[in-house]
Structure 1
């Protein structure tokens, strides 16, 4: 089920936000937990805690370190091997979006639309944004890039916070209450603008190319919503992305040319290997598409309506979290259910991440868990 609501950006324009609703009283009942083969053994090796996560926050991996944040203002850099804090910062404001980082500098956006950049556990600068931000900042090439809900992209100097440029694309007033697409690709910045994927020059903000991944459809704002969501799969020059409740598509990002597009009704990102692209639909049906042509390789329906996260490819498995804090391990080859592990009973937020050999997940109540396959 889905819902809309109104919020105000700091630019004083009314924006409507749209999200998948996990608490609706008439949401379909989750499928009973299915039997698993037990062919995969996964061991919990550590736990940590950061406080509740109720805003679009995502873990950020840098070699053997993981940066995480809580809505209440905690920003923590963890050692993925031990789960111990490398540093921890408590901001005075709630955090709305993050974490972005390059291993040296890390950035989040507060509920007051302030970009905050941290280095060695200390805040080094702040910058007031002009609109609400739901996408983690991108820290790359000595710069910090921000994608705002008004579809503007801002670039700032990573050391000083000086504004370098801003580029904006007009679009529908309705935007997703979740992270959008913002990622590096070689010397190019890839940005999701509505149903289009755009390549920007990171030095100037000029547009190099745009490719349509999904068309607006319908007669009202909800039906026309086609924003690209965070969680992109990349293999070489091929980038595969999801447009909210519309399509899954792969493009050649070196030229901006479409390779294939398939209808798909999901709202979480994708993952892939050299043969397939994986994703969960909004009803928690898991689908594997052939990377070469987009044909469906397999479908797993045993986890229907469990509120699955974006997937992570881990060895021969595919890992997805659910709304009950359960991690599900599926075989990449055919979708067979290999294993499942419970966390703390609250929803897995963001996608699971892999740091060196440690699988790291964060839950809604702020639990951070580290696992290793055996």
Structure 2
């Protein structure tokens, strides 16, 4: 469930984020939050149209309280626990490639290019590792909930004060910092920070912003949503993590406001459509898929954003962002179930069980293995039968 924190001056902001006291939370302000949320419909018996088997399991510490983002580099899956354990797993076997305990609680998931790995801590630090060994820590001006981006021998960080910073991966030397103003509330969940060709793309408020990765200068801005309403909660607009990119077409979600696509070559908006979800999207050159805040799963046509279908089969179940995997749209829910739905009409194809705790992050695929992580720290690898 997304949460929000009030933006303050840097020192006060950091204290607020570290203590989590006096900071606003969106959890009980949503129409589906708390005891007022309708009870989900019964799912009925599972009929496995698509054969899937559990291939392996592994375990990390609890992921409760960390904005978990699971990273895939070739055949390795990198993830982290809330308590500070960072793990690289062989996606084919589930075996540890390496496992490191950092000794501090973490705020974000993992960024990695295969050589260098980075996470952010609730102590307000950026921590870098090489080959599973910690090499440096650097203080940040504010908490960071978005997984760092590691690319081009640099580590990029999107912080909660809406600053973007670049560090030398080997030494931790700060190369540049770009600061942007925004609304007084921010989300305590991962946002958009990615490389598109030779441009660094960051989600800042309701905009996708293209930056020069060498200097931090702005190349273009593409607004998908604008603040509206009469109070800070109503005016909250943030880009949420997990996007769909096909060539120069980049599609993303603005929290509780819109889904849209931009042309990254020109930095222009192709289209936007109203949408009420709080999790990211996935798709291909034809379709986009997302889960709305009420548990509906929706498909949009990538060309113009018109709705292709919507399914209420999982309504009122808190869902992850989807993963498009072959003929399936894969989403996890708060009861630890992983649903495989048909990309054509959301018909159920299979349902996979884990440990009964919420699925903690968007499912990923690596080495022909579907990998999901739970809030209890269970890591599950599934493969086609």
Aligned with 1:49 (options 59, 65, 73) = 59
Structure 2 length normalisation: TM-score?
0.94
Residue deviations 1:248-296 (CA, integer Å, cap 9, x gap): 0011111111111000000000000221000000001000000111111
Residue deviations 1:39-60 (CA, integer Å, cap 9, x gap): 1011100000001001101110
Q: Does 1:217 align with 2:228?
A: yes
Paired position in structure 1 for 2:159: 148
Structure 1's unaligned 5+ residue stretches are: none
Aligned with 1:257 (options 239, 260, 268) = 268
* Mapped partners of 2:253, 2:26: distance in 1: 15
RMSD value, Cα: 1.8
Q: What are the residue-to-residue correspondences of 1:13-162 with 2, within 5 Å? A: 13=13, 16-20=23-27, 24-54=34-64, 55-162=66-173
Paired position in structure 2 for 1:11: 11
* Mapped partners of 1:145, 1:112: distance in 2: 18
Paired position in structure 2 for 1:195: 206
TM-aligned CA distance change 1:184 to 1:17, over 3 Å:
farther
Aligned with 2:329 (options 314, 318, 325) = 318
Q: Secondary structure at the match of 2:362?
A: strand
Structure showing the higher strand proportion among its residues: 1
Q: Secondary structure at the match of 1:25?
A: helix
Paired position in structure 2 for 1:228: 239
Residue deviations 1:145-170 (CA, integer Å, cap 9, x gap): 00000000010001110000000110
* Mapped partners of 1:193, 1:18: distance in 2: 20
Per-residue deviation, 1:12: 2.1
Task: Give yes or no for contact 2:7–2:185 (8 Å, CA) kept in 1.
Answer: no
* Mapped partners of 2:158, 2:199: distance in 1: 15
Paired position in structure 1 for 2:178: 167
TM-aligned CA distance change 1:9 to 1:179, over 3 Å:
farther
* Mapped partners of 2:91, 2:97: distance in 1: 10
Paired position in structure 1 for 2:20: none
Paired position in structure 1 for 2:294: 283
* Mapped partners of 1:163, 1:372: distance in 2: 42
Q: Does 1:206 align with 2:213?
A: no
Paired position in structure 2 for 1:333: 344
Per-residue deviation, 1:334: 1.6
Residue deviations 1:200-247 (CA, integer Å, cap 9, x gap): 000000000001100111010001111000010001110000000000
Per-residue deviation, 1:11: 2.4
Paired position in structure 1 for 2:278: 267
TM-aligned CA distance change 1:364 to 1:7, over 3 Å:
farther
Per-residue deviation, 1:350: 1.2
* Mapped partners of 1:28, 1:9: distance in 2: 39
Structure 1 length normalisation: TM-score?
0.96
Q: Secondary structure at the match of 1:96?
A: coil
* Mapped partners of 2:40, 2:63: distance in 1: 23
* Mapped partners of 1:6, 1:191: distance in 2: 20
